[in-house]
Amino acid sequence: MPASDLIKKTATEMVSLLKSGEVTPLDCLDALEARIPEVEPAVNALPTLCFERARDAAKALMAKPVAERGLLAGLPVAIKDLLNVQGVRSTQGSPIYADLIPDASDLAVTNLEDAGGVIYAKSNTPEFGAGANTFNEVFGPTLNPWDISKSCAGSSGGSAVALATGTAWLASGSDLGGSLRNPASFCGIVGFRPSPGRVAKGPGALPFANMSTEGPMGRTVRDVALMLDAMSGQHPVDPISLAKPAVPFVTSTDSLPAPKRVAFSLDLGGITPVDPEVADLVTAAAKRFEDMGCIVEEASPDFTDVQEIFQTMRALAFAATKKGLLDTHKDLLKPEVIWNIQKGLDLTTAEIMEAELARGRLYHRVEQFFRSYDLVLCPATIVPPYPIEQRFVESCQGHTFSNYIEWCTVAYAFTCASVPAISVPAGLTKSGLPVGLQIAGPPRGEAQVLAAAAKYEDLVGWATDLPIDPRAPKG
């Protein structure tokens, strides 16, 4: 099968071809190696390639019977550059680690390889994943393929762009303030933040921390479900990791019924402004749930104190993990990272204590809300893709944000609530830029979220439009 045909197929289709023997893992790598030069110079999504390592892994898999090659059966997977891959340059988007070659992989990478994934590339990310715009001093910016003058968001921007342009079938991401969901929204793909512990990770400095999660990214909801099955599972390295579900996510995605009652809110109870064009597209997307037979009502959990919770907990994590770098390499850190570390160092015991207590109250309010509603629908991002030169969104609808991450409130509200949330395409703006619909579910409700997202995807048929070639600015 020609390489140009393979890159158009979904990950689910590719795994079927791999398991049937119609294509081999080496065929997949050849297709990617042919596609990358066609698009990569224009977008800079995959700055680090490791095809020699990938081919060695592919040949090792091919020495086994097809039935023993794992869930992914040799499908190539791109890894976000915040995760270490053994023997591969792993920079975290920072000049401090520009030449780091780790001698061990992160557990999330190892689990993907154990499931038959073949690692062939590292995707670009902002320094330490800080900021929802993918640029750094090591590799430069990653550009949005729908309009290469625009940001692809972040911090999993390289993964999202690789998926949108056909240089990846599956890619890893991570999410603290929306780092999976923001780039999915900006690039017209699917990004899923699962419940904390659903994807084992580590070893890390804060193994009990549960604000940031690893998660799957793909072109379709079913591709994301497949990757989540490959990533999930309990492991002693990660003390909060969860066991695999009794029913695989690929099964529950197609077997669970449509939700009965869903809540819809553009601004999650008034905690964020929303661009009018985004509001129109997301409202129209939410109405499609009525076509599934759902009752759609305007309602939202109470997220009143989410700013204090998120900003405090995020700053505390930055201080705990990055203070040493501030002491020794301040000249190499970007301003936003320095600000976040210092904010954490300046926190008082009373502020940390109140944030922890407030997050507990928030969790219980949200959990109670999901006893009345199956899902919450809202924007995944509050603006369309913005100019790449702009470091972050500074204002929206007359509201000026207090810091570089506040514009992502609509995403990190669900982070603080510790519930799963997915971004799926809602449509295109008048200028042809993607906007995402966010679907959030109850605690550990990944199966419900994926099933509803798949039904929505079947209604709108978006996945048939990918991959795309990078597009020049209009006009």
- Which residues are known catalytic residues? 80, 155, 179
Coil, strand, or helix at residue 325?
helix
Tell how far CA 252 is from the center of its chain: 21
DSSP secondary structure letters along 358-375: HHHHHHHHHHHHTTT-SE
CA 24 – CA 458 distance, rounded (Å) = 29
- The dihedrals phi and psi of 344, each to the nearest 5 degrees, come to -65, -40
CA 463 – CA 180 distance, rounded (Å) = 18
CA 351 – CA 294 distance, rounded (Å) = 41
Tell how far CA 359 is from the center of its chain: 23
Beta strands 76-80 and 190-193, pairing class: unpaired
Dihedral of CA atoms 149, 182, 192, 451 in degrees, nearest 10, equals: -90
Cis amide bond preceding 203, omega within 30: yes
Tokens coding 379:
């924007």
Residue 198 and residue 230 in contact, taking contact as beta carbons nearer than 8 Å = no
